[in-house]
Structure 1
């Protein structure tokens, strides 16, 4: 499999496409916490420690990709919950493998980050 952004026929590499969909720290954090089950906006705000604006933009992006779904559960008081779609849950084994890889190579990854 070639890992370029695009080929001569205009097809985007699936690995590049997947990384573009989930490959920011904010997106990874949100997905990590949603693997445990649905959560409200304020709960995600608290556990991810993201700013309100960053969380909002992240959730909208993930929703536009079909990875997260949003449901208004009440209007008074206004309450919304977010949950992973089937597409989102399909990322769980990928996260598990990234976690395994990160644990194995954590020391060298920390050293690389400190050198920057």
Structure 2
């Protein structure tokens, strides 16, 4: 059996980014710090899945979770420098999609 010629770091990067919804979470956070409910509403993702993705991205050092000691407590999520470094990649994917993919009707996505 042939051994894979793909770099393990590239493979790890693809496994992180290719998780369902992860790319959209990162793309949404390129707009700046946001609260959980804002991300949830913008993407149309379930709260449970969003929570899992944010925890995964936080573990990878891509997302930072900041708690503000107010009443009620305010929590915001933002991209770290590591996460912000994905912006050119996300913009290239956006540009590629505009060039090569057919528009999708909003109703057919759900």
TM range (shorter): 0.7 to 0.9
The answer to whether 1:82 aligns with 2:81 is no
TM-score (structure 2 length as normaliser): 0.82
The CA RMSD over aligned residues, in Å, is 1.8
Shift of 1:69: 0.4
Structure 2 CA distance for aligned equivalents of residues 52 and 75 of structure 1: 22
Structure 2 CA distance for aligned equivalents of residues 103 and 48 of structure 1: 19
Residue in structure 2 matched with residue 60 of structure 1 by the alignment:
55
Residue in structure 2 matched with residue 3 of structure 1 by the alignment:
6
Runs of 4+ in structure 1 deviating by more than 4 angstroms, as ranges, are: none
Query: For 1:4-43, what aligned pairs fall within 5 Å after superposition?
Result: 12=8, 14-43=9-38
Higher relative contact order (CA 8 A, sep 6+): 2
Shift of 1:103: 2.0
Structure 2, unmatched stretches of 5+, are: 105-110
Structure 1, unmatched stretches of 5+, are: 5-11, 111-116
SS of residue paired to 2:69: strand
**Which of these residues, 37, 46, 53, is aligned with residue 51 of structure 1?**
46
Structure 1 CA distance for aligned equivalents of residues 69 and 44 of structure 2: 25
TM-score (structure 1 length as normaliser): 0.78
Moved more, 98-107 or 43-52: 98-107
Residue in structure 2 matched with residue 7 of structure 1 by the alignment:
none
